[in-house]
Chains A and B, each alone.
Chain A
């Protein structure tokens, strides 16, 4: 039985934090590529029109214009859908932003299948993979409104490139407004001894629901919210896995190269345990409601429960 979560937009967390940053720091600028009404950066534009650049439908130009602004001492936040910002402009991000280590922040809105009916072209399922392979890049995948708000503020405080992934739909509010948010620090949302579930983004709520169900069957799952994918908090993950001896990762993203891969790369070298991955299994999405898609592509709490039981069994084999 899923909990009765309060639901809120993560992109509103991005927009609210940008306005707060804009108020505090005259060097903060926001760029968008003709999607400001969807990404909600239009709210920043209403308040600080002189520090907002809409570059039109031209993501490659947007990224490097942001790079040029950063060289003039500004802190630019460039935002559009995750597919376009990370994919269309990937080489700009690599060659200009990361090699030169420019102080540019990237907002990937509409991450995962949350953009639903728009279909495969608009569903961002590869950004974690193609952003975390870049040296110098920090990758943040906040779980809810509060974390997106804090991640955006935290991004501004980092001197260097940061990618923040958030979604379109309202998602459960799993953290509290006054919870600490530290880049590079995972949070243990629930303690348990039988299996570790590491989740990010919208899948944190699914993981907590899964843990509730497992508890009813006598299995205690430890749930870790991994909102910083890079740099990875190896310490927290290792401590948990050394205790539980089994792992399930859960993300609204391709299995290949995503959050789960990052965790397993680290564990394979330090403390390999039976592991299963919940995520998109090497396929593109399609039109449908986000809920229908999450079910079809096996990104629900039921999928986490099934895999958790599997790894717990594997422990004793």
Chain B
């Protein structure tokens, strides 16, 4: 199927709900994995893959597709769900997550046929790949864009700042980084482990356009991507003179780790553990009620 499809807030909310079901079910079936950050990135991923990213699941190698790079690659459960739900493979495969012989590895492995542009898992690496892709696409004269899904925790890696610097230097207005800013990492709150603030000022100082949004508002997220659509086409954004169409763009999404499952929300402990049978049942019940 070809994307993007027309924006429909109600429809996208239902899709995000389905993605959350996939995440808790697949991590439960695997017995391990990373639900917290998958759930916080769900709404941004849903908007991106349905209403923004130019891609075609029936033609994964389509030359003129936008490229998606998963930087915070431990949220493989979210990635695999959106790929399955946009037609890259049968959603039944999600139950094979992290199992021997499955193409759904604990952290993604390159597999363009199934929509995975590049593997990942070691934080701080993939934004540089996205920079290389964005340079390459420009050299090829392509209008395609590159979207990199990162997080505030990943920004603690020094190599991220090398990559951010180079993206501005090479004027990669075809590159968008999305920060899933859920303020929690494995060892606790980001501000206690290693503060990354003031993030918007840091991005601006490194030569990026910065758009800060509520990363769980489907509409706000879509509006932010619409600005990037203009900027990446070389246009200015009406009534927003602060954005420069020669710069790369950062969308900082304020999010909640574990979003949508009451007992997982804002709990660092849910960064990397699977729900029990009882917890799964409760999670699915909550998601049913929130449809």
Would you call B59 an interface residue if the criterion is a C-beta within 8 Å of the partner chain's C-beta atoms? no
Which residues does chain B contribute within 8 Å of A72, judged by CB atoms? 132-133, 136-137, 139-140
Which residues of A does B touch, CB under 8 Å?
50-51, 53, 55-56, 58, 60-61, 63-74, 76, 91-92, 95-96, 99-101
Residue of B118, B121, B165, B170 contacting most chain A CB atoms (<10 Å) = B118
- CB pairs A–B below 8 angstroms (21 shown): A50-B139, A56-B169, A58-B162, A58-B166, A60-B128, A60-B159, A61-B159, A63-B128, A64-B125, A64-B131, A65-B135, A67-B118, A67-B129, A67-B132, A68-B134, A68-B136, A76-B132, A96-B128, A99-B119, A100-B110, A100-B118
Would you call B264 an interface residue if the criterion is a C-beta within 8 Å of the partner chain's C-beta atoms? no
The minimal Cβ–Cβ distance linking A235 to chain B, given in whole angstroms, is 33
Which 6 A-B residue pairs are closest in the complex by CB-CB distance? A68-B132, A72-B136, A64-B128, A61-B162, A58-B162, A65-B132
The minimal Cβ–Cβ distance linking B112 to chain A, given in whole angstroms, is 9
Which residues does chain B contribute within 8 Å of A71, judged by CB atoms? 117-118, 129, 132-133, 136
Which residues does chain A contribute within 8 Å of B122, judged by CB atoms? 91, 95
The answer to whether B136 touches A69 (Cβ under 8 A) is yes
The answer to whether A100 touches B135 (Cβ under 8 A) is no
The minimal Cβ–Cβ distance linking B248 to chain A, given in whole angstroms, is 14
CA distance A93 to B125 in the complex (A): 10
Which residues does chain B contribute within 8 Å of A50, judged by CB atoms? 139
Residue of chain A at shortest CB distance from B133: A68
Would you call B48 an interface residue if the criterion is a C-beta within 8 Å of the partner chain's C-beta atoms? no
Residue among A55, A74, A100 making CB contact with B119, cutoff 8 Å: A100
CA distance A192 to B4 in the complex (A): 70
The answer to whether B129 touches A68 (Cβ under 8 A) is yes
The answer to whether A65 touches B166 (Cβ under 8 A) is yes
CA distance A66 to B163 in the complex (A): 12
CA distance A66 to B119 in the complex (A): 15
CA distance A50 to B170 in the complex (A): 12
Which residues does chain B contribute within 8 Å of A91, judged by CB atoms? 122, 125
The minimal Cβ–Cβ distance linking B100 to chain A, given in whole angstroms, is 18
The minimal Cβ–Cβ distance linking A103 to chain B, given in whole angstroms, is 12
Which residues does chain B contribute within 8 Å of A68, judged by CB atoms? 128-136
Which chain B residues numbered 158 to 210 have a C-beta less than 8 Å away from chain A?
158-159, 162-163, 165-166, 169-170
The minimal Cβ–Cβ distance linking B77 to chain A, given in whole angstroms, is 20
Which residues does chain A contribute within 8 Å of B110, judged by CB atoms? 99-101
CA distance A99 to B131 in the complex (A): 19
CA distance A50 to B139 in the complex (A): 8
Which residues does chain A contribute within 8 Å of B130, judged by CB atoms? 68
Residue among A60, A66, A99, A100 making CB contact with B132, cutoff 8 Å: A66
Would you call B95 an interface residue if the criterion is a C-beta within 8 Å of the partner chain's C-beta atoms? no
- Given the interface pairs A69-B135, A69-B136, A100-B118, the reply to whether A92 lies near B166 with Cβ below 8 Å is no
Would you call B109 an interface residue if the criterion is a C-beta within 8 Å of the partner chain's C-beta atoms? yes
Residue of B124, B139, B165, B166 contacting most chain A CB atoms (<10 Å) = B139
Complex interface bits, B237-278 against A, C-beta within 8 A gives 1, otherwise 0: 000000000000000000000000000000000000000000
Known: A55-B166, A68-B131, A72-B136. 17 other contacts (CB 8 A): A56-B169, A60-B162, A61-B128, A61-B162, A64-B125, A65-B131, A68-B130, A69-B135, A71-B117, A71-B129, A72-B137, A95-B121, A96-B126, A96-B128, A99-B109, A100-B118, A101-B110
